[in-house]
Structure 1
Amino acid sequence: MDNPFLNRMSVNRERTSMVLCYDDQTCEWCELDDAGNVQGVLCFSDHWTERGQTVQYVQFIGTDQVVAIILEKTERWIYVFQKEREHISMIQTLSLKLPFPVMQIARQDAQLLLLFAVRHRSGTVQIGLYDPVKEKAEWVTPELDNPQFVFWAKPEREIGVNVGGVGRVYFYGKDTGSSREIPYQEYAYPVMDKQGDQIAVCIPAGDGFCPGWMSVQENVVQGSLEHSEPFSELIRIQLDVDRQHILCEGIRRGKWQYVQYTLDGKKTFELCDYPGTLTQAVHSRDKQSLIGKFESITTAPVPARYKISESFGDITPISVRHGDALVSNLVQQPETKYKHLRCGNEFIPYMDIHPGGEEQAVIYLHGGPHNCLLDSYSPVIARLCEAGVRVIGLNYPGSSGFGSDYKQRIQNDWGGVDADVIRIIREQVLGSYSAVSLYGVSYGAYLALLAAGRNPELWSAVVACAPFTDLSSLYAGGGAKLRSFLQMEIGGLLQNESVLRDRSPLTYASGLCEVDLQLVHGRNDQLCPVEQTERLYQEILKRKEPVEAADRQLEMHIIDDLQHEVYAERIWAAKAVHFLTRNRVTQPG
């Protein structure tokens, strides 16, 4: 981790400023011009970096106000900053007594409010508002099964959530209270955004989703008239009632895309086939550009701008100087091809990443199971490409971004068709290689261990990061959130101990003795407990000595203070790539 890593980015509603936060705990306030270019930078993180505090959350709560949640040992603090001309000052400090995750923060009627969520022991989730000055909370929803928070319409005092495929907008008043009789309006489709009396919704269409919008009074949904195909995943819709358009952000065929429509259904622009991935994008002040976070396989996240009037795919980094480093430089991309492998009646999507002169091959398995391997930053893939390794980035069945049917393909079938596909890719795509390795994170690490344990003769090395290894004990020892998730995903398997054993890597400890294996896990992982990795390691050790595979390499690295985190792979990237490439095998002629 030589350069500061961009962890968080926030742009204010007026598009006059953005805040950038890095993993060295520094935060910078950037002034933006009409087109979204940076005109000046001020650092305002000295208040906590000098005290060794950690940034947990940063967000604009006004044109010139930013709020930050800071962790100091076991205490959390709320800092509110105000910008005036060329100076940023702290105007408020509050101790945060709320023990639950904070989702958003806002000022409403001069009152600072925190939107939070609580998961009850029953598995239901309830959303509330908390006043950190009065240390008083109110519920804004009753207990709900797997709700998805979507928006907070502050002027109207409304919270939008989706429950069971339909949208609900809950209303709350000025006075705090604890009543469970909270009024709401229900919609036939998931809600996405709301401005005034206009609300955006997500309409199921074939094997995907299309945007729709409606007036709350009329209750009649309108849809786009010119969309070529639905989004596989419709991530976000941004309404702009003043300019009468909506900006849609989603995934199609494994690529992050943007489409803008007018409210009479006409498509005005589309950002689709471009190298890398642009996320969290918003319009610049002049509405001629999108400002967002850009990354690619070899480029760590940077703020970037897409000029709508120029040719598609022209993503320009926004020049920001962080200390002595310019964080806008993009790294040369390796050749990447998007391909499909026919498997029965299905097409299995994968990314084929060619650095040139491939001597080795690695199959890369993302986490999830319902994530998607995009053209986004992976320090492991970047380092493998530098070492001349061909990488197959597999979007196995269950991955999002390829339609709802493909996403639900592993319902009640974890470790079934998804594990089979890994073997098929090895045999049909990489059959000419004498040595192929597996790399996986979280659910991908589970699949890597399962595939290698069942067919160790196919693999030369495996790196499994933050895996789970025993489905039965994972469920038995899990908290309410994890147990609820497993019941939804594999409920039909939980009653069959024989099937659970067959789908658990721990069962195949003997097979895993026959491959070089590196296990990596964070000590503070709350999602995939570190005990799952430690138990597998001990089981393999028991079996290694009496067999001929005793010369195979076995490593376990437990990283203190590490949780189940996004981009955590950069912490162990060098170690993992060294393990995968130390025994180079040339591809046969």
Structure 2
Amino acid sequence: MGDPFLNRMSVNRERTSMILCYDDQTCEWCELDDAGDVQAKHCLSDHWIGLGQTVQHVLFIGTGQVAAITKEKTERWIHVFQKEREHIRVIQTLSLKLPFPVMQLAWQDGQLQLLFAVRHRSGTVQIGLYDPVQEKAEWVTPELDNLQFVFWAKTEREIGVNVGGAGRVYFYGKANGSSREIPYQEYAYPVMDKQGDRIAVCIPMEDGFCPGWMSVQERVVHGSLEHSEPFSELIRIQLDVDQQHILCEGILRGKWQYIQYTLDGEKTFELCDYPGTLTQAVHSRDKQNLIGKYESITTAPVPARCRISESFGHITPLSVKHGDGPISNLVKQPETKYKHMRYGNAFIPYMDIHPEGKEQAVIYLHGGPHNCLLDSYSPVIARLYEAGVRVIGLNYPGSSGFGSDYKQRIQDDWGGVDADVIRLIREQVLGSYSAVSLYGVSYGAYLALLAAGRKPELWSNVVACAPFTDLSSLYAGGGAKLRSFLQTEIGELLQDKSALRDRSPLTYASALCEVDLQLVHGRNDQLCPVEQTEHLYREILKRKEPVEAKGRQLEMHIIDDLQHEVYAERIWAARAVHFLTQNRVIQPEQATKLR
């Protein structure tokens, strides 16, 4: 696993403190100065690591208070920490009986409150508040379809959600009647943030999304903000009524950027076209810096800040020590060129990392399908670059970050245009290479298997991590959330059994015997069931003699305790890159279990 990996980061509302959580269960409370630099650090995790507990959630619940939810076997606990002068102490530890996922925590009306969500068998979602001391809950929304939680305005006792492309703000309190009578205010646009009587909204445009805001009383949308083109994806808007500005965070042409405007529409700051990716950023206390989580292809996530006055967005890692290792320097990353390939009347964007004079290439396929391959941390790409391999990071049709039309290109067409583009990249961009391999994760792994099964002669090695391999059984065995998602994405295909077979890698088990294939999956994957990978592996083994005759390598690695997680590829990166860069010819083995 290597060094501890930063997997959670948050800054309190007052910008005086920051929480950093790592995958070794350690957690640090860092005190910040006005500019966002770290002045002191306190360890919180000693209070649960010694008990053998794992951390699930850590959040600020006040200026000087933090709550952590930990788990030990089937039991969950809440630890409340409070800062008193130069020390941090535990002021409360409670057993958490709530069986549902916790979204946020807060100290409200003199008591600890937990915001939680329940998904009903019908597929609807309902949000509620839970008092862990009294062990009592109340609903703050009715059951809703396609619910997206946005914000919790604690002082005003309001919950902001988006339902079917429109915003709603629910008002809760002791005077509420039944769960279906909770009052709310509806907005024509998705809501993004609320401060006082101002609410930020996301305005859909023909080519993307623009930020806007309105006064709750006037209901007039101010959206004529100075922006040369809409965001392809508008991730977050942060209102600052005191400073009279809004900070917009989003993706434009496959790159993460920030733009700040006054409420009158004047652009005052822009952070774009910088190496790497800065996410979850907030203003420092002096309003002169952005504090966020920075990463690049070769740099694992680190806390960092960017000075607003520097137009080119110089990113400076915050000076934080974790264990014996200081985090003070960013690793030099490979030169990345952003290119595109013509496909009919459209253009297919891709990232090209091309060490000079190398003859081996790998096409890297991100998960999704509606994710985006950004200039963010990938230990697989970093290791491939170190090994002298050219990497094509493909944002196939369906990827976000390039406009709504591009994102919808695979509607009812999974394994169609997206898989065809992979073949064209191989033939047109990498046609001179004798050795080209495929690497994919989740939906990208599905595409890698499908492309290899249809045209095995084009590929040397294939690594598929957490794939699904049979669309028909994926839908039949899925829960309400997955079935609803598939109905939305490929509803027409679900009515055509022949089309489902044609677009399922399982159909091409015989052809997959002709490539060197490595399958990787987490045992506890709830999104792409591990049984999908195991079924494909068994079907390939039934063709064992053809595999032996062609001298092809077949591996399957099932990783215990692993779920469908962000950044999970760091767990198998070394093994996958070794497989991709070796031209070994061995006989198939039995499945290997990694622990």
Structure 1 residues 283 and 575, CA, compared in 2 at 3 Å: closer, same or farther? same
Q: 1:128-527 residue pairs with structure 2 within 5 A?
A: 128-174=128-174, 178-527=178-527
**Paired letter, 2:287:** K
**1:115 Cα deviation (Å)?**
1.0
Q: Who is 1:115 aligned against?
A: 115
Instruction: Give the distance between the partners of 1:546 and 1:581, measured in 2 at CA.
Output: 23
**1:449 Cα deviation (Å)?**
0.2
Are 2:176 and 2:182, in contact at CA under 8 Å, matched by a contact in 1?
Answer: no
The gaps in structure 2 that reach 5 residues or longer are: 586-595
SS at match of 1:180: helix
Instruction: Give the distance between the partners of 1:177 and 1:113, measured in 2 at CA.
Output: 20
Q: 1:3-152 residue pairs with structure 2 within 5 A?
A: 3-152=3-152
Are 1:275 and 1:375, in contact at CA under 8 Å, matched by a contact in 2?
Answer: yes
Q: Who is 2:592 aligned against?
A: none
SS at match of 1:381: helix
SS at match of 2:482: helix
The gaps in structure 1 that reach 5 residues or longer are: none
Measured against aligned partners, the alpha-carbon deviations of 1:401-450 in whole angstroms (never above 9, x if no partner) come to: 00011111111110000000000000011001001000000000000000
Q: Who is 1:581 aligned against?
A: 581
Instruction: Give the distance between the partners of 2:152 and 2:22, measured in 1 at CA.
Output: 27
Percent of aligned pairs with the same amino acid: 88
Instruction: Give the distance between the partners of 2:64 and 2:181, measured in 1 at CA.
Output: 37
**1:50 Cα deviation (Å)?**
1.2
Structure 1 residues 52 and 175, CA, compared in 2 at 3 Å: closer, same or farther? farther
**1:219 Cα deviation (Å)?**
0.3
SS at match of 2:280: strand
Instruction: Give the distance between the partners of 1:535 and 1:492, measured in 2 at CA.
Output: 25
Are 1:192 and 1:200, in contact at CA under 8 Å, matched by a contact in 2?
Answer: yes
SS at match of 1:300: coil
Measured against aligned partners, the alpha-carbon deviations of 1:356-381 in whole angstroms (never above 9, x if no partner) come to: 43231000000000000000000000
Instruction: Give the distance between the partners of 1:385 and 1:584, measured in 2 at CA.
Output: 20
SS at match of 2:275: coil
**1:176 Cα deviation (Å)?**
7.5
**1:44 Cα deviation (Å)?**
1.6
Are 1:526 and 1:563, in contact at CA under 8 Å, matched by a contact in 2?
Answer: yes
Structure 1 residues 175 and 47, CA, compared in 2 at 3 Å: closer, same or farther? farther
**Paired letter, 1:147:** L
**1:346 Cα deviation (Å)?**
0.7
Are 2:140 and 2:179, in contact at CA under 8 Å, matched by a contact in 1?
Answer: no
**1:165 Cα deviation (Å)?**
1.0
Measured against aligned partners, the alpha-carbon deviations of 1:140-167 in whole angstroms (never above 9, x if no partner) come to: 1111111111111111111111111111
**1:332 Cα deviation (Å)?**
0.8
Instruction: Give the distance between the partners of 1:102 and 1:370, measured in 2 at CA.
Output: 25
**Paired letter, 1:408:** Q
**Paired letter, 1:403:** G
Are 2:522 and 2:559, in contact at CA under 8 Å, matched by a contact in 1?
Answer: yes
Are 2:514 and 2:547, in contact at CA under 8 Å, matched by a contact in 1?
Answer: no
- How many equivalent pairs are there? 585
Instruction: Give the distance between the partners of 2:551 and 2:439, measured in 1 at CA.
Output: 21
Instruction: Give the distance between the partners of 1:177 and 1:99, measured in 2 at CA.
Output: 24
C-alpha RMSD over aligned residues: 1.3
Are 1:514 and 1:549, in contact at CA under 8 Å, matched by a contact in 2?
Answer: no
Are 2:232 and 2:402, in contact at CA under 8 Å, matched by a contact in 1?
Answer: yes
Instruction: Give the distance between the partners of 2:178 and 2:93, measured in 1 at CA.
Output: 27
Instruction: Give the distance between the partners of 2:151 and 2:265, measured in 1 at CA.
Output: 23
**1:355 Cα deviation (Å)?**
3.4
Moved over 6 A (4+): none
TM-score normalised by structure 1 residue count: 0.98
**Paired letter, 2:337:** K
Q: Who is 1:562 aligned against?
A: 562
Q: Who is 2:593 aligned against?
A: none
TM-score normalised by structure 2 residue count: 0.97
Are 1:138 and 1:177, in contact at CA under 8 Å, matched by a contact in 2?
Answer: no
SS at match of 2:121: coil
**1:133 Cα deviation (Å)?**
1.2
**1:548 Cα deviation (Å)?**
6.5
**1:584 Cα deviation (Å)?**
9.0
Instruction: Give the distance between the partners of 1:219 and 1:54, measured in 2 at CA.
Output: 46
**Paired letter, 1:389:** V
**1:42 Cα deviation (Å)?**
1.3
